[in-house]
Chains A and B, each alone.
Chain A
Amino acid sequence: MTSNQFMFLLFSAVIVIFSILTVTSRRILRAATFLLFVLVSTAGLYFLLKYNYLAAIQLTLYAGGIVVLIIFSILLTSHISEKLPTAGLLKKWPAALVALVGAALCIVVILQYNFPGSVVDTEVVNVRDIGNSLISYGEKGYALPFEVISVLLLAALIGAIVLAKKRKD
């Protein structure tokens, strides 16, 4: 077993265990903490694949931004000591059936297909190349999605402010 395989198995074990705990934990703050562990190990997978910039984005935006936002909203809307009620069996079994059947189907299809693997081990992607691609509109340029994302972020910013504003009744 190579070191890459070992690190991959370690990260994937952490991801699987903590994502199951995220959706089954009865304390909501603990669920958010487990989600943080899942996101950090995903950043570890990106580091393993040598996408350092992407891993940094994952750590700052997901682990630093979204999880903190979720924890703040948990603290605003519920008590820490409060336990979530467990779902009824009538709701739990169909959901588990859907998840298990879907996962089994996808895994069978994936394992049957023979994916070609190239052994090309490219170097770390340069941040300068990423920036040049984001603002160029020629081949391998991503100027249009970049502009669309910036409009989307502006709309989300304004929408969040308007929605969370106190109403004058």
Chain B
Amino acid sequence: MFEGVPLSWFLVLSTIMFFVGVYGFLVRKNLITMLMSIELILNSVCINFVAFNKILYPENMEGMFFTIFIIAVAAAEASVAIAIIINIYRRIVSIDVEKMNEMKY
């Protein structure tokens, strides 16, 4: 227990955030908004790691390092994804996933 805040509160919060991200990923059709949903999902996972680390094993730092690495991976992923999105926009002047059917069989 972290001075009155139980671990389950953190877990419930990150669960809600994760599934809001899943909903956005399924519903949205714009590539950039889908990327934003992925950022929400990654962020909820980070909260989980940090809460487990601080409340169950406060003498170790594993969760914090994993969160740092997740943030680095998210930054790399966002930069490459945005490069791809801009390339697609140059080609078909739209970033709607429904209009990307050039490679469709």
Contact = CB atoms under 8 A, between A and B. Distances in A.
- 5 residue pairs, one from A and one from B, having the closest CB atoms: A23-B24, A117-B1, A156-B76, A95-B26, A163-B83
Given A31-B33, A111-B8, A66 B78 contact: yes
B32 A133 contact: no
A40 to B, nearest CB: 11
B67 A19 contact: no
Interface of chain B: mostly helix, strand, loop or mixed: helix
B103 interface: no
A142 B33 contact: no
B100 interface: no
A135 interface: no
Interface of A: 1-2, 4-5, 8, 12, 15-16, 19-20, 22-24, 28, 31-32, 35, 38-39, 42, 45-46, 49-51, 53-54, 57-58, 61-62, 65-66, 69-70, 73-74, 76-78, 84-85, 87, 91-92, 94-96, 98-100, 102-103, 106-107, 110-111, 113, 115-122, 125, 129-130, 133-134, 140, 142, 145, 149, 152-153, 155-157, 159-161, 163-164
A161 B80 CA distance: 9
Contacts of B76: 152-153, 155-156
**Residue among B12, B33, B37 facing the most chain A CB atoms (10 A cut-off):** B33
B37 A23 contact: yes
